Amino acid sequence: MGSYKYCLCFTRKFRWSEAAPPRDVAVAFAAYADGGTHMGSEQLRRFLAEAQGESGATIADAERILDQVRQLRHRHHLLGRSLLALDDFHHFLFSDELNPPIQCQVHQDMAAPLSHYYIYTGHNSYLTGNQLSSDCSDVPIIKALQMGVRVIELDMWPNSAKDNVDVVHGRTLTSPVELIKCLRSIRDYAFCASPYPLVITLEDHLTPDLQAKVAEMATQTFGDMLYYPETDSLKEFPSPDSLKNKIIISTKPPQEYLKTKNSKENDSQKEKDASDEETWGKDVEVQKSELEADDKNDQGQDEEDSDDDDDQSFQQISALEYKRLITIHAGKPKGGLRDAVMVDPDKVRRLSLSEQQFAKAAASHGTDVVRFTQQNLLRIYPKGTRFTSSNYKPLVGWMHGAQMVAFNMQGYGGSLWLMHGFFRANGGCGYIKKPDFLLKAGPDGRMFDPKQCLPVKTTLKVKAYMGDGWRMDFKQTHFDAYSPPDFYTKVGIAGVPADTVMKKTRTIEDDWTPVWDDEFSFPLTVPELALLRIEVCEYDISEKDDFGGQTCLPVSELRSGIRAVPLYDRKGTKFKSVRLLMRFEFV
10 Å Cβ neighbour count for 555?
Answer: 25
Using CA atoms, how far apart are residues 341 and 360, in angstroms rounded to an integer? 12
Residue count of the chain: 587
Closest CA to 439 of 373, 521, 350, 388: 373
Using CA atoms, how far apart are residues 405 and 365, in angstroms rounded to an integer? 18
Q: Single out the catalytic residue among 38, 169, 365, 400.
A: 169
Angle between helix axes 139-147 and 179-189 (nearest 10 degrees) is 20
Question: Rounded to whole angstroms, what are the CA distances from 355 to 382, 383, 397, 438?
Answer: 6, 6, 9, 20
Q: Single out the catalytic residue among 123, 205, 365, 420.
A: 123
Using CA atoms, how far apart are residues 556 and 536, in angstroms rounded to an integer? 22
Helix (H) or strand (E) holding 520, with range, is strand 515-524
SS3 453: coil
Contacts for 155-161 with beta carbons within 8 Å, 24 or more apart?
Answer: 155/124, 155/126, 155/203, 155/205, 156/202, 156/203, 156/204, 156/205, 156/206, 156/210, 156/214, 157/205, 157/206, 158/205, 158/206, 158/207, 158/210, 158/298
Helix (H) or strand (E) holding 473, with range, is helix 470-473
Question: Which string of DSSP letters, residue by residue, matches 47-67?
Answer: HHHHTS--TT--HHHHHHHHH
With beta carbons less than 8 A apart as the criterion, state whether 179 and 223 touch: no
Closest CA to 397 of 353, 454, 338, 440: 353
SS3 281: coil
205 is catalytic: no
Using CA atoms, how far apart are residues 382 and 60, in angstroms rounded to an integer? 49
10 Å Cβ neighbour count for 285?
Answer: 10
123 is catalytic: yes
Half-sphere exposure (Cβ direction) of 566: Cα atoms closer than 13 Å: 18
**Catalytic residue annotation:** 123, 169
